[in-house]
Chains A and B, each alone.
Chain A
Amino acid sequence: MSNHVFALERQLRAWGHEPFSYAIEAKPGVTGVQPYRRLFRTAAAGDLLVLHFSMGHEVFDQLVKLPGRKVLVYHNVTPPEFFAGINPHAAAFAQLGRSQLRSLAGTVDLAVGVSEYNRRELEEAGFERTATVPILIDWDAYDVPADEGVLAAWSAATTKLLFVGRISPNKRHDDLIRMLTYYRACIDPEAQLLLVGSYRDQPQYHARVASLARELGLAAAVTFTGSVPLPHLVAYYATASAFVSLSEHEGFGVPLLEAMRFRLPVVAYDAAAVGETVGGAGILLARKDLAEAAEACALTIERPPLRRALIEAGERRIAELATDLVAARTREVFAL
Chain B
Amino acid sequence: MAIDLDAVMAEVRERVQAKRASGAYGPDVDAALRAPLPGGPAALIDDLHDPLGSLAGLLAQPVEYDLRSRKRYVGRAITAARRVVIGLVRWWINAISERQERVNRLVAAALQEQSARPAPQFDARLARLEREFQERKGAEVAANLHSVYFAARFSGDEPVIRAQSERFLELFQGRRRVLDLGSGRGTFLELARDHGIGAYGVDLDHRMVEEARSRGFECVESDALAHLRSLEQGSVDGLYARHIAEHVLPGELVDLLRECRRVLAAGAPVVMLTPNVATLTVGAHTFWLDPSHRRPIPPELFRFYLEVEGFREVDVRSFEPSELRLSEDVPEGAQLDNVRLLNETLFGMRDYAVIGRQP
Contact = CB atoms under 8 A, between A and B. Distances in A.
Contacts of B32: 178, 181-182, 185, 216
Interface string A282-324: 0110100111100110110000011011101100000000000
Nearest to A207: B39
Interface in B152-189: none
A191 to B, nearest CB: 13
B12 A312 contact: no
B74 interface: no
A212 B37 contact: yes
In the A-B complex, the 7 residue pairs with the smallest Cβ-Cβ separation, listed nearest first, are A84-B44, A181-B32, A81-B44, A208-B39, A309-B1, A85-B41, A295-B12
A64 interface: no
Given A86-B41, A248-B45, A291-B19, 5 more contacts: A83-B43, A169-B45, A283-B3, A292-B16, A309-B3
A295 B3 CA distance: 16
A114 interface: no
B16 to A, nearest CB: 5
B39 A178 contact: no
A299 B37 contact: no
B29 interface: yes
A296 to B, nearest CB: 5
A199 interface: no
Contacts, number: 106
B38 A208 contact: yes
A22 interface: no
B38 A215 contact: yes
A306 B3 contact: yes
B29 A181 contact: yes
A283 B37 CA distance: 27
A258 interface: no
A291 B31 CA distance: 12
Given A290-B33, A295-B12, A296-B12, A81 B24 contact: no
Contact of B5 (A208, A283, A290, A308): A283
A211 interface: yes
Contact of B2 (A208, A216, A289, A309): A309
B1 A308 contact: yes
19 contacts: A83-B44, A85-B40, A85-B43, A178-B32, A178-B33, A182-B25, A185-B32, A186-B19, A212-B35, A216-B35, A248-B45, A283-B8, A289-B16, A291-B19, A292-B12, A292-B16, A295-B12, A298-B15, A312-B1
A283 B11 CA distance: 12
A291 B33 contact: yes
Contact of B11 (A208, A299, A305): A299
Given A212-B38, A216-B35, A313 B3 contact: yes
Contacts of B28: 185
B56 to A, nearest CB: 16
Interface of A: 79-86, 91, 169-170, 174, 178-179, 181-182, 185-186, 204, 207-209, 211-212, 215-216, 248, 280, 283-284, 286, 289-292, 295-296, 298-299, 305-306, 308-310, 312-313
Contacts of B1: 305, 308-309, 312
B43 A186 contact: no
B33 A208 contact: no
Instruction: Classify the interface of chain A: helix, strand, loop or mixed.
Output: helix
Nearest to A312: B1
Contacts of A182: 25, 29, 32-33
B132 interface: no
B40 A86 contact: yes
B8 A186 contact: no
B25 A208 contact: no
Contacts of A248: 45
B321 to A, nearest CB: 66
A61 B5 CA distance: 45
Nearest to A298: B15
A320 to B, nearest CB: 16
Contacts of A280: 3
Contact of A215 (B2, B35, B40): B35
A141 to B, nearest CB: 29
A185 B29 contact: yes
Interface centre among B35, B43, B44, B47 (most CB of A within 10 A): B43
B42 interface: yes
A211 B41 CA distance: 14
Nearest to B29: A185
A305 B7 CA distance: 14
A280 B8 CA distance: 13
B29 A82 contact: no
Contacts of A84: 43-45
B42 A85 contact: yes
Nearest to A281: B3
Nearest to B54: A85
B12 to A, nearest CB: 4
A149 to B, nearest CB: 32
A313 B5 CA distance: 13
A292 B43 contact: no
Given A178-B33, A292-B16, A185 B45 contact: no
A283 B41 CA distance: 32
A82 B35 contact: no
A86 B37 CA distance: 10
